[in-house]
Amino acid sequence: MRERSSNAVRRAAALFLLAAGCVLCMACSILYGSISIPLHEAVETLLGQSVDEVASRIVIEIRLPRACEAWILGGALALSGYLLQTFFHNPIAGPFVLGISSGAKLTVALSMIFLLGRSVRVSQGMLIVSAFAGAVASLALVLALSGKVRSMAKLVVGGVMIGYICSAVTELVVTFADDADIVNLHNWSRGSFSGMTWEHVRISAVLVFAAAVLVSLISKPINAYRMGESHAAGLGVNIRLLRVELILLSSILSACVVAFAGPISFVGIAVPHLIRRCLKTEAPGWMIPGTFLGGGLFCLACDLIARMVLAPVELSISTVTAVFGAPVVIWLLMDRKRED
């Protein structure tokens, strides 16, 4: 009994540390950049008492929405990865690895070029819808593949290939797009949190938090499902419904990320693994808040690094997430107890 309650205390402490880390990173994101803003000034600005016009604009209009968006979308990515890993019973699954991010990227690029070519103003809603369509389409491909191949390794390789095909087509489309579109597309297709506005934050917060609430509502069947399908079915889980819910929710989450920040690699696969190791459980009651906070923290930190390391040049966010995320995936591959 004592061992179990001490486990709970340890896990709660880990979640608290993650949340504290998020707050700390968010503060750093607000304070540091091409212009450093002293803490007291930032606090005054946030309280609405600032006198310095420039500093207040930087904080309120640029850095704060960017930090919020990095946190929300990072959490969304990690949660999406956790859902996919649950679905495939495989810790190496993730939205980027399975080609879902690239599929969404392709449809977003296509619709951006198509709409801009007809000088229609592209709204965020349209981008999200097209990203979602791309995510679902490439996930459908992956699923068709998973019906054919039983081995997870082959499935992952298949997903990576689907990702490459989508990226190649995207590159092709971008090459033939008009100059004006390219600037827009090029930054976005490499993945970046720059240029986030409060409108972006509002839309993605509503979508991501709604999806996160829905994920929490199915945490009970997820908990049974992690034992395996027949075990869950025997306990009364509606397997088919749960699988559809997992697919749709993870697609919404990763589509939302792609629509706003472009494809971001390795967060969806590395963060759930790190969180699992650190909480020492796969129970969704811990994993759902854990992966969300962990993903948020990871992206906040990576965005800070992307901005700071070679300032004033900004790295693409995927460059940084790959540097930190890819070794985790390698560790994960070597760490697996059994190979299936």
Partner 1 sequence: MEQIFFQAEKLTAGYHGLPLIRDLTFSLKKGEILTVIGPNGAGKSTLLKSIAGLLEPLGGKVVLGDGELDSLPRAERAKRVAFVFTDRVRSEYLTCGEVVASGRYPYTGRFGLLSNRDRDVIEEGIELLRIRELRDREFDTLSDGQRQRVLLARAFCQEPELLLLDEPTSFLDIRYKLEFLSLLQEMRRGRDMTVILSLHELELARRISDRLLCLKDGRMDRFGEPQSIFSGDYIRHLFDLQADWFDETGLARLSDGI
Report the interface residues with partner 1, using CB under 8 A.
Answer: 3-4, 89, 91, 217, 219-220, 223-224, 226-231, 233-238, 276, 280-283, 337
User: Quick one: 88 or 292, whose CB is closer to partner 1?
Assistant: 88
Characterise 89 by phi-psi region: left (phi > 0), alpha (psi -120 to 50), beta (else): left
- Please say whether the beta carbons of 115 and 127 come within 8 A: no
Residue 287 C-beta: closest distance to partner 1, Å: 10
Residue 319 C-beta: closest distance to partner 1, Å: 31
User: Quick one: 186 or 280, whose CB is closer to partner 1?
Assistant: 280
Classify residue 48 by burial, with Cβ atoms within 10 Å: 0-12, 13-18, 19+: exposed
User: Quick one: 121 or 337, whose CB is closer to partner 1?
Assistant: 337
User: Quick one: 214 or 309, whose CB is closer to partner 1?
Assistant: 214
CA-to-CA distance for 141 and 240, rounded, in angstroms? 18
Looking up tokens 């190496």 gives: 92
User: Quick one: 117 or 228, whose CB is closer to partner 1?
Assistant: 228
Tokens of 298: 């990871």
Residue 204 C-beta: closest distance to partner 1, Å: 26
- Please say whether the beta carbons of 18 and 294 come within 8 A: yes
Characterise 99 by phi-psi region: left (phi > 0), alpha (psi -120 to 50), beta (else): left
Residues 6+ apart with CB under 8 A from 283: 223
User: Quick one: 57 or 336, whose CB is closer to partner 1?
Assistant: 336
| DSSP assigned state of 284 | H
Residue 275 C-beta: closest distance to partner 1, Å: 11
Characterise 201 by phi-psi region: left (phi > 0), alpha (psi -120 to 50), beta (else): alpha
Residue 269 C-beta: closest distance to partner 1, Å: 15
CA-to-CA distance for 59 and 49, rounded, in angstroms? 13
Residues 6+ apart with CB under 8 A from 145: 155, 158, 159, 162
Residue 214 C-beta: closest distance to partner 1, Å: 12
Residue 238 C-beta: closest distance to partner 1, Å: 6
Type of residue found at 148: K
- Residue spans of beta strands (DSSP E) within 129-173: none
Residue 244 C-beta: closest distance to partner 1, Å: 15
User: Quick one: 64 or 156, whose CB is closer to partner 1?
Assistant: 156
User: Quick one: 3 or 53, whose CB is closer to partner 1?
Assistant: 3
Residue 233 C-beta: closest distance to partner 1, Å: 6
CA-to-CA distance for 204 and 115, rounded, in angstroms? 22
Residues 6+ apart with CB under 8 A from 294: 18, 78, 271, 272, 274, 275
- Please say whether the beta carbons of 285 and 117 come within 8 A: no
- Please say whether the beta carbons of 93 and 284 come within 8 A: no
User: Quick one: 53 or 339, whose CB is closer to partner 1?
Assistant: 339
